[in-house]
């Protein structure tokens, strides 16, 4: 739930008020500031923004790989080390929220906290130590927010489109149709959605044996297992998808697709302005995926826009991406460097009436 930023507090001090309390009334001319925090299985991300025209302008951002779901598949628990990494990142976020005088914030947690036996204990500890109130959202809400945040980038065309979000612990697939008529402005309606319990962290831990070494044969076998596991997870949903009567439209929002898009462009370092909104031929994304899967982990670590932090996980993302392109064979893939956080911001601004 969204809550007044007064509930973001230092590690000591008076406890915040009840979650979901209404923000103070906006005075004429007052500039309100909004924030969206997304704690995923792999990343902790924050956006802080102010309304502008019919959208918003970002005034601060934060992103850190925390691997909250590391080891979760084996133990069903968040590890002590993962919890400490996440709280360290969230402490930085809490400081940014205070310094930016954020009026209204929504902080969500996804698959790792949904699955972990100690997820509720972790949420309580985060609140006690940082003042941040994490809302552990369901897969359906996760899919809705991702679509709300990136729908404007769905490639133009006729017929339904498929929007997907490859996370650390799950992958959401959302079938949508573009609304028509005055005022539709590229908005979409969700027709159906599916969440698979495989993301880059969970799939790597389940089927990634050999990917952590420099053995090419073992890596190839691991990649084949990952593709098979992802394809199996999507199989039932694939049977419900309509047969497109026009070229299928496909849009991805995840670190996997933005990383592969960076390699497609040959960027020396990541550039959101070049990647967000890019449309890439699907066969190019498959070729890049195959090339990465054929590398050793040390070779992947040397690739610009991947580095040591993503070298072991990017291959799982490639396997999931290929499985998605198999069930929805679009010729082109839209790339979005936006998603849940932007969806949260749009929801907060609309609810608060600041965008009118």
Tokens of 44: 């902790």
Tokens of 153: 């980038």
The pLDDT tens digits of the residues spanning 103-162 come to: 999 999 999 999 999 999 999 999 999 999 999 999 999 999 999 999 999 998 889 999
Give the pLDDT score at 354: 53
Question: Rounded to whole angstroms, what are the CA distances from 313 to 103, 172, 176, 292, 347?
Answer: 36, 18, 28, 11, 31
Fold matches, 2-137 and 149-339:
yes
Poorest-pLDDT segment among 6-15, 28-37, 309-318: 6-15
Counting residues of the chain whose pLDDT is more than 90, the rounded percentage is 75
The rounded distance, in Å, linking the Cα atoms of 348 and 50 is: 11
pTM of the model: 0.87
The hierarchical CATH code for the domain 2-137 is 3.30.420.40
The pLDDT-based confidence of 298 (bands split at 50, 70, 90) is: confident
Beta strands in 26-142 (DSSP E): 34-39, 43-52, 55-65, 104-109, 134-136
**What residue ranges do the domains of the chain occupy?**
2-137, 149-339
Poorest-pLDDT segment among 105-109, 220-224, 287-291: 220-224
| 287: pLDDT strictly greater than 50 | yes
* More confident: 312 or 90: 90
The pLDDT-based confidence of 183 (bands split at 50, 70, 90) is: low
Strands 161-166 and 43-52: unpaired
CATH fold of 149-339: Nucleotidyltransferase; domain 5 (3.30.420)
| 18: pLDDT strictly greater than 70 | no
Structure-derived torsion over alpha carbons of residues 299, 304, 309, 311, reported in degrees to the nearest 10: -30
């Amino acid at each position: 739930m969204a809550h007044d930023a007064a509930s973001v507090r230092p590690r000591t001090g008076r406890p915040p008020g009840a979650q979901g309390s209404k923000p103070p009334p906006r005075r004429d001319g007052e500039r309100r500031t909004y924030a969206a925090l997304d704690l995923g299985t792999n990343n902790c991300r924050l956006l802080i923004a102010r309304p502008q025209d019919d959208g918003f302008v970002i005034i601060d951002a934060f992103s850190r790989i925390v691997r909250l779901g590391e080891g979760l598949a084996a133990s069903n628990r968040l590890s002590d080390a993962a919890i400490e990494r996440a709280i360290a990142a969230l402490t930085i976020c809490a400081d940014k929220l205070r310094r930016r005088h954020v009026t209204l914030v929504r902080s969500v947690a996804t698959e790792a906290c949904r699955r972990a036996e100690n997820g509720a204990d972790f949420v309580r500890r985060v609140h006690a130590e940082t003042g941040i109130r994490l809302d552990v959202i369901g897969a359906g809400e996760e899919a809705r927010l991702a679509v709300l945040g990136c729908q404007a980038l769905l490639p133009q065309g006729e017929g339904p489109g498929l929007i997907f979000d490859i996370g650390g612990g799950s992958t959401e697939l959302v079938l949508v149709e573009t609304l028509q008529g005055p005022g539709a402005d590229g908005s979409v309606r969700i027709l159906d959605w599916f969440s698979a319990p495989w993301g880059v962290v969970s799939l790597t831990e389940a089927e990634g044996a050999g990917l952590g070494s420099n053995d090419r044969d073992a890596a190839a076998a691991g990649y084949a297992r990952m593709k098979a596991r992802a394809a199996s997870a999507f199989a039932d949903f694939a049977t419900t998808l309509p047969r497109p009567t026009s070229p299928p439209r496909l849009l991805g929002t995840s670190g996997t697709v933005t990383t592969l898009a960076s390699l497609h462009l040959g960027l020396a370092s990541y550039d959101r302005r070049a990647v967000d909104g890019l449309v890439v031929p699907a066969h190019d994304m498959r070729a890049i995926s195959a090339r990465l899967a054929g590398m050793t982990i040390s070779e992947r670590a040397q690739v610009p826009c991947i580095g040591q932090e993503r070298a072991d996980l990017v291959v799982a993302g490639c396997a999931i991406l290929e499985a998605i392109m198999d069930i929805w064979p679009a010729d082109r893939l839209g790339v979005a460097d936006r998603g849940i956080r932007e969806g949260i911001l749009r929801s907060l601004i609309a609810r608060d009436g600041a965008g009118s």
